[in-house]
Amino acid sequence: MIAPHKYLDLNLSVLNLGGLILNVLKKEGAVKYDELLNRVILVRGVNAKEVFIQTLSFLYLLGKIEYRKDIDTIEFIK
């Protein structure tokens, strides 16, 4: 979540995972959904899976990423 509370793990926050996802997408350009999820889990652990969808939604609302349904990839928008 974005609003902090005493039980928040900062490594699993929407903003932190968003930064991680944007770094991966800037290097690669476009990444398959499953591959991106696996990279996030590899770096932040299994608990990151719970915040992954929320983070993608946040980045989509900001206009930073786009999902291409036909090839199942997430692309970085410059």
pLDDT digits (tens, 9 = 90+) for 16-34: 999 999 999 999 999 999 9
Which pLDDT score, from 0 to 100, does residue 2 have? Answer: 61
| CA–CA distance, 54 with 58 (Å, rounded to integer) | 6
Let me know if residue 35 belongs to a domain.
yes
Which pLDDT score, from 0 to 100, does residue 50 have? Answer: 93
Let me know if residue 67 belongs to a domain.
yes
Which pLDDT score, from 0 to 100, does residue 10 have? Answer: 81
Residue 68 sits at φ, ψ, to 5 deg, of -105, 105
Let me know if residue 53 belongs to a domain.
yes
Q: Residue 75 region, left (φ>0) first, then alpha (ψ -120 to 50), else beta?
A: beta
Domain of 36, CATH number, reads 1.10.10.10
**pLDDT, tens digit, 9 for 90 and up, residues 36-66:** 999 999 999 999 999 999 999 999 999 999 9
Let me know if residue 1 belongs to a domain.
no
* Amino acid letter, 14: V
| Token pair recorded at residue 17 | 């995972």
The predicted model gives 56-77 an average pLDDT of 95
Which residue range(s) make up the domain with 24?
10-76
CA dist 32 to 7, 11, 53, Å?
32, 23, 14
Let me know if residue 28 belongs to a domain.
yes
